[in-house]
Amino acid sequence: MACRKCGWLDKMCPGFLLSRAAARLLGRAATLLLGILLIPGCSEAPQLPVEEQALSPIDCSRQEVYGIWVETDCLEGYRGEPFSGIKTTGQPEGFFSATQYHQGKRHGFSFSANGSRILSHAWYHQGVREGEQLDYHAQSQRPKRQAIYRGGETQAVALFNEQGIIERYQRLEGEKTVESITYEQGRPWTHLFYQDGEQRERLRRYFPDGSLASDALFRKKDLKRLSEVTFYASGKVKTRYTYDRAANLAAQQTYWSNGRLQSEQQYGFDPLIVRHGEQRSYCQSTGALEKLAHYQMGSEQGRFEWYHCNGRLMNAKHYRQGIMVDTRVDTLDESGHLVKRELFDGKGKRLEAFYFNQVGEQVYHERF
């Protein structure tokens, strides 16, 4: 059966398959090397190792740097010709590395080890990094750094602690970091990214048991809160906040621990956040409306109502530009009986108060 030519990172190539399998045997660097050395992987002849000292740079370009001429873009040469094979450094019982070359350029698999401990492995394509590169903690042999390359440019990088738990992630476009995540005990903590042409930041907090306590999204340049959800330790939603960019308004709902709606609030910005629009709060026991209020950019405006949890009206007041304009306010009990009557000057100042018992008799009076 004719052996077909393998393409770059061809998953059907035997050399590729064995290299990937051997890469998983982190404590057995000799096995990894054997997979590279002995399997030709559909090439015309097996690749044999050549020590670093036997190789030398050839076909270099000369470039002036700060007044000094230096050689750049060299090919790796062997006996005056571009090298194809495996370049090795060191001895297997100590520090050791091996890299595949083709026509003078790194091309294929590369790894380094210290004795039986793998230190890193990577892939190259025509002289530049391509695909995944992994570095390992020398003692624990768990991943330390994982990077993804395309055409020699770094696409993404992840960092891990000695236990192999992720601590940081970055995604890049050229030299610009377009997304980054920091982790707390393996859980996302801060997340920076770009959306709709602006940089945003997501902040997450957790309870000691690892369950999510809050998840908030901010616009990075001015830290304007765009959304937020907080939770009780039970996992039930505690608060939910949203921002309407087009209207420059915000809304928030809060919830009792039993899951019932606690309040609904509307906000405006002047320029700081202030109450604006209708505000509602609800009884924990029944879910009935407990308070209805209206604001105009932070000032009370319109009718305010208070209710008992059985739905009966307790009292009501009217405001205009933050000032209570009623001259009389009656307060009723849960049965609808009058228990207090207050007199005002129409500008918010209380003048007198009358108190009544359950049969409607006045029992107390005070002046202010």
pLDDT of residue 332: 97
| Distance between CA atoms of residues 283 and 290, nearest Å | 6
End-to-end CA distance of the chain: 107
What are the domain boundaries of the chain?
Answer: 1-116
The arithmetic mean of pLDDT across residues 11-38, rounded, is 41
**Band of pLDDT at residue 26, cut at 50, 70 and 90:** very low
Token pair of 278 as six digits: 């209708």
Place of tokens 């319109």: 302
* CB-based contacts of 48, cutoff 8 Å, min separation 6: 37, 85, 86
- Quickly list DSSP for 310-328: TS-EEEEEEEETTEE--SE
User: Residue 256: what residue type?
Assistant: W
Whole-number percent of the chain with pLDDT over 70? 87
Place of tokens 């398959």: 17
Asked whether residue 27 carries a pLDDT value surpassing 50, the answer given is no
What does the mean pLDDT of the chain come to? 88
Contact call for residues 116 and 29 (beta carbons, < 8 A): yes
Helix (H) or strand (E) holding 213: strand 212-219
Asked whether residue 8 carries a pLDDT value surpassing 70, the answer given is no
Asked whether residue 32 carries a pLDDT value surpassing 70, the answer given is no
CA 110 to chain centre: 32
Of 322, 202, 223, give the one whose Cα is nearest residue 271: 223
The arithmetic mean of pLDDT across residues 323-331, rounded, is 97
Higher-scoring residue by pLDDT: 347, 6: 347
Of 197, 142, 194, give the one whose Cα is nearest residue 167: 142
Contact call for residues 100 and 119 (beta carbons, < 8 A): no
pLDDT for 193-231, tens place per residue?
999 899 999 999 999 999 999 999 999 999 999 999 999
Of 146, 154, 111, give the one whose Cα is nearest residue 130: 154
101, β-bridge pairs: 85, 106
Contact call for residues 334 and 318 (beta carbons, < 8 A): no
Of 267, 205, 208, 266, give the one whose Cα is nearest residue 238: 205
Asked whether residue 191 carries a pLDDT value surpassing 80, the answer given is yes
Place of tokens 């330790």: 233
pLDDT for 65-91, tens place per residue?
888 888 888 999 999 999 999 999 998
Strands 153-160 and 323-324: unpaired
Find the DSSP H helices in the chain. 14-23, 29-38
What are the two backbone dihedrals, phi and then psi, of residue 37, each rounded to the nearest 5 degrees? -75, -40
Contact call for residues 98 and 105 (beta carbons, < 8 A): no
- How far CA 293 is from CA of 135, 243, 299, 318, in Å, comes to 60, 20, 11, 10
Asked whether residue 114 carries a pLDDT value surpassing 80, the answer given is yes
The arithmetic mean of pLDDT across residues 253-266, rounded, is 97
Asked whether residue 171 carries a pLDDT value surpassing 50, the answer given is yes
pLDDT of residue 10: 38
Asked whether residue 248 carries a pLDDT value surpassing 60, the answer given is yes
User: Residue 188: what residue type?
Assistant: P
What are the two backbone dihedrals, phi and then psi, of residue 163, each rounded to the nearest 5 degrees? -85, 0
The arithmetic mean of pLDDT across residues 248-277, rounded, is 96
**Band of pLDDT at residue 46, cut at 50, 70 and 90:** low
pLDDT of residue 310: 96
pLDDT of residue 62: 87
Asked whether residue 33 carries a pLDDT value surpassing 80, the answer given is no
Asked whether residue 256 carries a pLDDT value surpassing 90, the answer given is yes
Asked whether residue 325 carries a pLDDT value surpassing 60, the answer given is yes
Q: What is the pTM of this model?
A: 0.76
pLDDT of residue 45: 52
The C-alpha R_g of the chain, in whole angstroms, comes to: 36
Within 10 angstroms of residue 306's Cβ, the number of other Cβ atoms is: 17
